[in-house]
Amino acid sequence: MCACHSIIKLKVLKLFFSLTSTQIRRLYLVNTDYLCGFKKATRKPESKRVVPEEPGPPHTESSEAAIQRRTPAPQWDQQAPSGPPRAFGRLFRPLVFTVGFTGCAFGSAAIWQYESLKSRVQSYFDEIRADWLEKLQPQKRGDVRKEVNQWWNNLSDGQKTVTGIIAANAIVFCCWRVPSLQRSMIRYFTSNPTSKTLCSPMLLSTFSHFSFFHLAANMYVLWSFSSSAVSMLGREQFMAVYLSAGVISTFVSYVSKMATGRFGPSLGASGAIMAILAAVCTKMPEAKLAIIFLPMFTFTAANALKAIVAMDTAGLVLGWKFFDHAAHLGGAMFGIWYVLFGHELIWKNREPFVKIWHNFRTRGGPGRGGDQGGAM
């Protein structure tokens, strides 16, 4: 019996080394079951040794899950997909939100410009009265309010426009430091196509930064290009382009993540800022730019835009995960398109909408008389 058993083992070993890994696994399971049944009466420990083999994979999976739970990863990385990985039907609502928000942004900008022009005459007389009163009143030295007003008046129109954006980003950055707000911040201020909340984060994540370096870099670029962008577009059109670019770039990021299966939350104003940068570089391609750390090296705006687009394209194709390259490309493409075509198609065709608003304001809106409608 022992010699027969040894011969069987020897043949099994020879066959073992000549088979593939899949065949080895199948043969091992069959041979183990055979040995356990053959020596069930004499060697009971054999059956005990086989029992842990079957639940092996579940045990390994649970240990890996335990390791992941102990890993100090950022809290927003713990979101799990709530549906099929590539359910493109989830993008319908974000698409509707993107189109609707973009239309509302430019419509609101047109109304804002109309109201600004209408109140400019009244503001002119208010400024004259303020200057006259300032001459009558004695000036106070060291007044903080006066110094703040002087600082504000020395800013360009573009810098004044983006000051509110920078302040909003700073407030959201501080909110990330409040532990009790972490859950809400992850849900509403990070964009992820697998999240339960899809639409509102497309806008709110544009004002969200978790890293101070990320915040400082984005706000510096925005501040640097604000004067050129606002002088080129006007503050109303600038705000419409900036906010629309933030939402559009997030939607492009959604599409890319669904197509590639590389899911994960994103946040930051980079997509919107890329649209402003691309618009300025497209409108003024020969403008000279420089890097803050290397001011001695200058290059044209057109070359800078080409380099940035090339880098983000490579990052998207190669799967780099340090930046959301799809959002960057979405913002840049929107900025280029708007300067070349969008301004003519959208902004210059706002007159019918402005006339509707003018008639509404002149008549005073629903429930008001025509005589009262002319009052500001």
Predicted pLDDT of residue 292: 74
Q: Closest Cα partner for 203 from 235, 152, 151, 239?
A: 239
CA distances from 224 to 159, 162, 194, 276 (A): 9, 10, 35, 11
Interatomic CA distance for residues 23 and 351, integer angstroms: 75
- Euclidean distance between CA atoms 373 and 280, whole angstroms: 40
Return the structure tokens found at 160.
């004044």
CA distance 274 to 244: 12
Most distant pair of Cα atoms in the chain: their distance: 121
pLDDT over 60 (residue 74): no
First to last CA, the chain: 109
Which of 85, 48, 39 lies closest to 264 in space, CA to CA? Answer: 85
Whole-number pLDDT of residue 77 = 46
pLDDT of residue 321: 79
- Does the pLDDT at position 62 exceed 50? no
Give catalytic residue positions: 270, 328
Nearest partner of 101 among 225, 206, 222, 6, judged by Cα? 206
Q: How far is CA 346 from CA 104, 119, 196, in A?
A: 12, 24, 33
CB 312 within 8 A of CB 257: no
Domain ranges of the chain: 174-345, 348-376
> In terms of pLDDT, which residue wins out, 141 or 302?
302
Quote the pLDDT of residue 225.
92
CA gap 325, 332 in Å, rounded: 10
To the nearest whole number, what is the mean pLDDT of the chain?
A: 76
What residues contact 46, with CB distance under 8 A and at least 6 apart? 35, 36, 39, 40
Task: Select from 263, 127, 124 the least CA-distant residue to 194.
Answer: 263
Please give the C-alpha separations between residue 52 and each of 28, 34, 47, 124, 275, in angstroms, as whole numbers: 14, 17, 10, 86, 58
Predicted confidence at residue 28, as pLDDT, reads 40
* pLDDT score for 56: 41
Inter-residue contact 215 to 169 (CB < 8 Å): yes
> Do the beta carbons of residue 202 and residue 94 sit within 8 Å?
yes
**Residue 372 above 80 pLDDT?**
no
Number of H helices and number of E strands within the chain?
17, 2
- Report which secondary-structure segment, H or E, holds 300: strand 294-300
Percentage of the residues of the chain whose pLDDT score is greater than 70: 68
Q: Which CATH number fits domain 174-345: 1.20.1630.10, 3.40.50.10490, 1.20.1540.10, 3.40.50.300?
A: 1.20.1540.10
Q: For the segment 170-206, what is each residue's pLDDT rounded down to a tens digit?
A: 999 999 999 999 999 999 999 999 888 999 999 999 9
Neighbours of 196 (CB within 10 A): 9
Mean pLDDT, to the nearest integer, of 43-57?
Answer: 41
Give pLDDT, residue 40. 41
Which residues 6+ apart lie within 8 Å of 333 measured at CB? Answer: 252, 278
The CA distance from 334 to 339, in Å, is 9
User: pLDDT digit string (tens) for 154-180?
Assistant: 888 899 999 999 999 999 999 999 999
Mean pLDDT within 257-275: 91
Strands 288-291, 294-300: pairing kind: antiparallel
Q: What is the pLDDT of residue 290?
A: 78
Looking at residue 299, its pLDDT comes to 84
Decide: helix, strand or coil at residue 137.
coil
Residue 211 DSSP code? S
**For range 55-72, the mean pLDDT:** 39
pLDDT digits (tens, 9 = 90+) for 295-353: 778 888 899 999 999 999 999 988 887 888 999 999 999 999 999 999 999 999 999 99
